Amino acid sequence: MSSTTLPGALARPTSAVRRRPARARPAVTAYALLLPSAVFLLGFTYWPVVQVLVGSFSVRGFRIAPHWGLDNYARLFADPHFGNAVLNNLLYAVGTVIPSVVLALGFAVGLRESGRVRMAMRTLVALPMLIPLVAAAALFVFVFLPGGGLLDWYLAKLGVASHNWLGNPSLALGSIIAITVWKNTGYYMLFFLAGLAGVPQEFLDAAKIDGAGPIRRFWHITLPLLGPTLGFVAVIATLNAITQVDHVIVMTQGGPSDATNLLLYYIYQQAHQNYDLGLASAATVVSVAALLALSLASLKTLERGMHYES
């Protein structure tokens, strides 16, 4: 008995020893595959964030010894151009988020059913999202061209006088808002179409049998079920309103009279035109902190939202 059991007993530890390297190989392979991504994240994402944070507290100037402090933040909040940029960005956010989300929801509800005509309409509404923002801005420069632009040409047919849409301080920000709504409505519509696909059809059919009209079905069934989707789209639209600046650079460069100077363009001006890296870093930290607070608040709001199960 002992001669037969001894080899088996000796064989078990050797097999266990052989299996350990085999189990370790997948972990080594996984770390090796993740290493390039980690290097790029550290080099091009986290390290620049650290540099900006450190630069916001580093005070440098002509004939001034470099030192650490909050002078950059003090200069930032005392700068009237920064306050004007914040106000413009708030107006821009309100003027772009509300119309684009409402239009996207309306298009999604109207084009929910399948069909050739509706599919063609979906394509037309979503087409602007495929155009880069810089190209769209260059296109709208010719549309808003005073006197000879496409918009003034059609308005002249209706007897309306031409306007300097991008040169008038009272109209420039509205023109920027118009191109943003045109560009983003189709993008948000796709989210609402995905959300509408999750609305149980039996709820709508039951309400229709009970005599509820289209408006009542929308307000009491469709819209509450789209609560999480609506919250998500509102967050995305708000973040886009703060982070999109390409069209401002192409169309107005913050003018006229700072009427279209947004936060991101203000940071660009301080860093690349005025070469004030400390002020630009402080403005970046404030903007990122606002975005982070907005994102966290929105996530908490989404978690408290109502979810329905069929």
Whether 147 and 51 share a structural domain: no
Preceding peptide of 21 cis, ω within 30°: no
Q: How far apart are CA 106 and CA 99, in angstroms?
A: 10
Q: Domain for residue 287, yes or no? A: yes
* 28 plus 111 within the same structural domain: no
Residues 6+ apart with CB under 8 A from 304: none
**Does 177 fall in a domain?**
yes
Rounded Cα–Cα distance for residues 294 and 300 (Å): 10
- Say yes or no: 24 and 123 in one domain: no
Closest CA relative to residue 162, chosen from 172, 173, 171, 151: 151
* In a shared domain, residues 110 and 243: yes
Number of domains in the chain: 2
- Torsional sign, CA 80, 82, 87, 88: positive
pLDDT score at 128: 92
> How confident is the model at residue 203, as a pLDDT?
85
In this prediction, residue 93 carries a pLDDT of 93
Same domain for 239 and 161:
yes
Residue 243 lies in a domain: yes
Q: Which residues pair with 68 in a beta bridge?
A: 58
Burial of residue 82 (number of CB atoms within 10 Å: 0-12, 13-18, 19+): buried
Same domain for 250 and 215, yes or no, is yes
| Alpha carbons 294 and 288: distance in angstroms, whole number | 10
DSSP-assigned letter for residue 131 = S
What pLDDT is stored for residue 62 in this prediction?
A: 58
Q: Which helix (H) or strand (E) holds 65?
A: strand 64-68
Q: How far apart are CA 66 and CA 60, in angstroms?
A: 5
- What integer pLDDT is reported at residue 27 of this predicted model? 81
Distance CA 246, CA 250 (A): 6
258 domain residue, yes or no: yes
The reply to whether 68 falls in a domain is no
Q: How many CB atoms lie within 10 A of CB 102?
A: 13
Q: Which residues on adjacent β-strands are paired with residue 280?
A: none
Same domain flag for 211 and 258: yes
> Does 195 lie in the same domain as 47?
no
Domain that holds residue 39: 2-56
Give yes or no: residues 84 and 201 share one domain.
yes
Asked, for residue 166, whether it belongs to a domain, the answer is yes
3-state secondary structure of 57: coil
The whole-number pLDDT of residue 308 equals: 45
State the burial class of residue 68 (Cβ atoms within 10 Å of its Cβ: 0-12, 13-18, 19+): exposed
Residues 127 and 31 in one domain: no
User: What is the pLDDT, as a whole number, of residue 23?
Assistant: 57
Classify strands 64-68 and 58-61 as parallel, antiparallel or unpaired. antiparallel
Q: Please, which residues have CB within 8 angstroms of residue 29's CB and are 6 or more apart in sequence? A: none
> Same domain, yes or no, for 36 and 81?
no
Mean pLDDT (10-residue bins), the chain, 310 residues: 49 51 71 90 89 86 70 93 94 94 93 84 90 92 88 88 90 94 94 89 85 85 87 88 90 91 93 90 91 78 53
What confidence score (pLDDT) does residue 61 get?
A: 63
Task: State whether 21 and 133 are in the same domain.
Answer: no
Q: Is residue 23 part of a domain?
A: yes
Q: Answer yes or no: is 66 within a domain.
A: no
258: left (phi over 0), alpha (psi -120 to 50) or beta: left
- pTM equals 0.81
CA torsion sign for 182, 283, 51, 254 is: positive
Q: What residue type is 213 in one-letter code?
A: G
Collect all residues with Cβ–Cβ distance below 8 Å to 63 and sequence separation of at least 6. Answer: none
